[in-house]
């Protein structure tokens, strides 16, 4: 079985631009969570979606938004990019809303804002 896949793996954007990151969960997994990992720090929770509904939101500005599609894939959108948005963006999927024991992470999307 394929693991969690994220695309693109790397991208470079300019300040003020918009970016869309994509995540395909493991087959059969209905929950997707997004995390931001700044270099040298642990991942920080952004959103959790389950069955296309937002189940949790971290302490991020409204420039960050996400959605989940009927096939359980997900997009993370970031508007008006700032230099501080440069980070590894991780997607994790789990079978149900339970995010602890079954969470599997993708390899992440490395976003660089210049």
Chain residues binding other proteins by CB under 8 A are 4, 35, 40-45, 48, 55-56, 58, 90, 92, 97-101, 103-108
For other proteins, the closer CB: 78 or 88: 88
**Contact between residue 74 and residue 34 where contact means Cβ atoms under 8 Å apart:** yes
For other proteins, the closer CB: 66 or 92: 92
**Contact between residue 50 and residue 30 where contact means Cβ atoms under 8 Å apart:** yes
For other proteins, the closer CB: 47 or 72: 47
CB of 56 to other proteins, least distance (A): 5
């Amino acid at each position: 079985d394929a693991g969690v896949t994220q695309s693109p793996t790397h991208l470079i954007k300019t300040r003020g631009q918009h970016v869309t990151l994509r995540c395909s969960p493991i087959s059969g997994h209905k929950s997707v969570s997004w995390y931001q990992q700044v270099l040298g720090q642990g991942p920080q929770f952004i959103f959790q979606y389950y069955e296309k509904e937002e189940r949790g939101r971290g302490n991020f500005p409204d420039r960050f938004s996400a959605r989940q599609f009927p096939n359980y894939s997900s997009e993370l959108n970031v508007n008006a990019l700032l230099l501080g948005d440069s980070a590894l963006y991780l997607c994790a999927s789990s079978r149900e809303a339970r995010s602890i024991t079954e969470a599997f992470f993708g390899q992440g999307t490395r976003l660089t804002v210049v």
